[in-house]
């Protein structure tokens, strides 16, 4: 089990700077998830930790030992790849034992570990099959099994569920969560799926443009995003962001206005409000006015997309089937005071007391 420390990590491919200075400490037994859009550098950062790419600058420490210049095998990590990367010509058993054979472990020890992993992952019936004869979920479990048998100091996952269909993805997500509970190992997991991030992580690292935007517990990121990027990246449907300007104790948004939720001296450029922070009221009674454009009824929830003049389309989440909402209906919207996020001209969060 391990503490992994990144200090001042940079990575450039020629003149393209992928990682622009990352400092991060990943605690022992923590489940840390890197999220970010395509090109944010999240996979590159994982590969740097794995030792599959060389850093351009900075140092990587595992349990206090500098491993920056060590090869992947010497770092004693395991990695699960997006494509599973099983060895196609080897059986499931050989796939799992290969790394141990390379490490010249005694045969009995190899068999013990492989059999234990196979039992834990319910793979015993498939041990003599080749990967081509397995389903997607089984291949994924073999890839995880191959990672487990190495008894690594930490596990690295590179978008491990993105090739699975939706139902299987939920199952495997739960299995990975259980695996973490059982092994209590340090895990670093890369995904662009923020549902995976919210449900699995102890700590989420939001990356954009090769820079860490925010590090924190899932709900902390949801409730107190430090900037507009995080605010809009975490949460689904994403947060509504409205251009705003202060007028005394009011915040003017489009043709409407809301009361200032808390005192602040900083200039306000945008306000953010999550879809569940908007309440539908009769036309004329809301802070702002709009017209219903699209309604999506999911049964438990309803998402309404409302066109508001000067502000664009706002997403509203209503619990239940929202029978009272019809297309093209003019409605009023109230912004729940406790759910308004304020952002300054640079897109940074304005906290209470700033």
Partner 1 sequence: MGIVGNTTRSPNFRRNRILLTAVLCIYLVYTLVPLFYVVTASTKTNADLFGTFGLWFAGEFNLWQNLVDLFTHQNGVFSRWLGNTFFYSLTSAVGAAIFALLAGYAFAKYEFRGKKLLFALVLGAVMIPQTALVIPLYLMLSKIGLLNTPLAVILPSLVFPPGVFLMRVYVDEAVSNEIIDAGRVDGAGELHILSSLTFRLLMPGFATVFILAFVAAWNNYFLPLVVLSTSENFPVTVGLSIWYASATLGSGGNLLFTVVMTGALVSILPVILAFLIMQRFWQGGLSAGAVKA
Half-sphere exposure (CA, 13 Å, Cβ side) for 164? 22
* Inter-residue contact 255 to 288 (CB < 8 Å): yes
Beta strands across the sheet bearing 57-62? 16-26, 4-13, 57-62, 65-66
Angle formed by the axes of helices 136-149 and 166-183, to 10°? 20
**Nearest 5°: CA angle at 231, between 228 and 235?**
155
Cα separation, 123 vs 135, whole angstroms? 12
Residues numbered 114 to 143 that lie near partner 1 (CB under 8 A) are 130-134, 136, 139
89 interacts with partner 1 by CB under 8 A: yes
For residue 348, the 8-state DSSP code is: B
150 binds partner 1 (CB under 8 A): yes
Binding mask 28-57 for partner 1 (x = CB under 8 A): -------------------x--xxx-----
Stretch that binds partner 1, among 22-30, 96-104, 234-242, 293-301 (CB under 8 A): 96-104
Instruction: Work out which of 72, 237, 254, 312 binds partner 1, going by CB under 8 A.
Output: 72
Residue 57 or 99 having the CB closest to partner 1: 99
Q: Which of 68, 81, 175, 237 binds partner 1 (CB under 8 A)?
A: 81
The answer to whether residue 222 forms part of the interface with partner 1 (CB under 8 A) is: no
Q: Which span sits near partner 1 by CB under 8 A: 4-12, 17-25, 83-91, 315-323?
A: 83-91
Q: Which is nearer to partner 1, 70 or 246 (CB)?
A: 70
DSSP string covering 39-83, please?
Answer: TSSHHHHHHHHHTSS--SEEEEEETTEE-TTS-TGGGTEEEE-TT
Task: Rule CB under 8 A: choose which of 98, 224, 254, 303 binds partner 1.
Answer: 98
Q: Cβ closer to partner 1: 41 or 131?
A: 131
- Options 27, 99, 209, 332; binder of partner 1; rule CB under 8 A: 99
Residue 169 interacts with partner 1 (CB under 8 A)? no
70 near partner 1, rule: CB under 8 A: no
Q: Applying CB under 8 A, which of residues 8, 37, 73, 119 lies at the interface with partner 1?
A: 73
What would the DSSP string read from start to end of 198-246?
HHH-SEEEEEETTEEEEEE-HHHHHHS-SBHHHHHHSSSSPPEEEE-EE
Q: Which residues contact partner 1 (rule: CB under 8 A)?
A: 47, 50-52, 71-73, 77-79, 81-90, 98-99, 102-103, 130-134, 136, 139, 146, 150, 163
């Amino acid at each position: 089990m391990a503490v992994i420390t990144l200090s001042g990590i940079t990575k450039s491919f020629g003149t393209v700077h992928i990682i622009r200075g990352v400092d991060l400490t990943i605690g022992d037994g923590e489940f840390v998830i890197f999220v970010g859009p395509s090109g944010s550098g999240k996979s590159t950062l994982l590969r740097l930790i794995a030792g599959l790419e060389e850093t351009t600058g900075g140092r990587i420490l595992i349990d206090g030992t500098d491993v920056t210049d060590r090869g992947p095998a010497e770092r004693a990590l395991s990695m699960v790849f997006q494509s599973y990367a099983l060895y196609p010509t080897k059986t499931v058993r050989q796939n799992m034992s290969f790394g141990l054979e390379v490490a010249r472990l005694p045969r009995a020890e190899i068999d013990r570990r492989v059999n234990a992993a196979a039992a834990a992952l319910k793979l015993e019936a498939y041990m003599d099959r080749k990967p081509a004869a397995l389903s997607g979920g089984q291949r994924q479990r073999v890839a995880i099994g191959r990672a487990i048998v190495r008894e690594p100091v930490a596990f690295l996952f590179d978008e491990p569920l993105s090739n699975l269909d939706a139902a299987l993805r939920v199952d495997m997500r739960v299995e990975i969560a259980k695996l973490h509970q059982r092994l209590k190992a340090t895990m670093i997991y890369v995904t662009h799926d923020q549902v995976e991030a919210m449900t699995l992580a102890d700590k989420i690292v939001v990356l954009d443009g090769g820079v860490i935007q925010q590090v924190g517990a899932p709900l902390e990121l949801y409730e107190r995003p430090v900037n507009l990027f995080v605010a809009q990246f975490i949460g689904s449907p994403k947060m509504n962001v409205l251009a705003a300007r202060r007028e005394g104790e009011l915040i003017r948004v489009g043709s409407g206005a809301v009361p200032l939720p808390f005192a602040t001296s900083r200039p306000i450029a945008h306000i953010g409000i999550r879809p569940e922070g908007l309440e539908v009221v009769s036309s004329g009674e809301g802070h702002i006015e709009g017209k219903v454009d699209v309604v999506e009824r999911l049964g438990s929830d309803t998402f309404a997309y409302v066109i508001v003049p000067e502000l664009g389309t706002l997403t509203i989440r209503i619990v239940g089937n929202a029978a009272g909402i019809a297309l093209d209906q003019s409605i009023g919207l109230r912004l729940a005071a406790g759910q308004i996020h304020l952002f300054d001209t640079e897109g940074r969060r304005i906290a209470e007391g700033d």
